[in-house]
Amino acid sequence: MTKLADKVLARRAGVILALLNLGGAAACASIDVMNWVVRQERIAQRKAGLHPAPVENALIVGLIIVLIWAFFFALDVGWGTVILCYRRWRSGRLWLVAFLFWLISFAIGHFYH
């Protein structure tokens, strides 16, 4: 392959990985948002004599989120290693954008906790 073809292929791979990270971050944020319990709803349930056990649901959701994080952490470490080994600094910009996606997802997911 020519150097131009290598650059185009690296660019496409970087865009695909950034879009995968965006999808993973959006999935984590939406799964975490589903686990939110409104404070007034919790108070109303206690007044009605109900004692909900959201802990079980929270543990399952937390496990799913941790598994998603672990997968994308491994993917991004591999991507960062390729950037460093082959000195693809332009692809590093997309890697940092993917990191920004995860920061926003983390902020959304834990804002109301």
User: Can you read off the two tokens belonging to residue 35?
Assistant: 């686990």
User: Can you read off the two tokens belonging to residue 86?
Assistant: 């082959």
What's residue 22's pLDDT?
96
Residue with tokens 């695909």: 16
Task: Give the C-alpha distances (Å, rounded to integers) separating 94 from 28, 66, 98, 104.
Answer: 20, 23, 6, 15
Centroid of chain to Cα 50: 34
CA angle 20, 23, 26 (to 5 degrees): 150
User: Can you read off the two tokens belonging to residue 82?
Assistant: 């390729």
pLDDT of 49 higher than 90: no
pLDDT of 16 higher than 80: yes
Query: Percentage of the chain surpassing pLDDT 70?
Result: 88
Query: Percentage of the chain surpassing pLDDT 90?
Result: 37
What's residue 1's pLDDT?
57
Boundaries of domain holding 61: 3-109
pLDDT of 101 higher than 90: yes
**How many distinct structural domains can be found in the chain?**
1
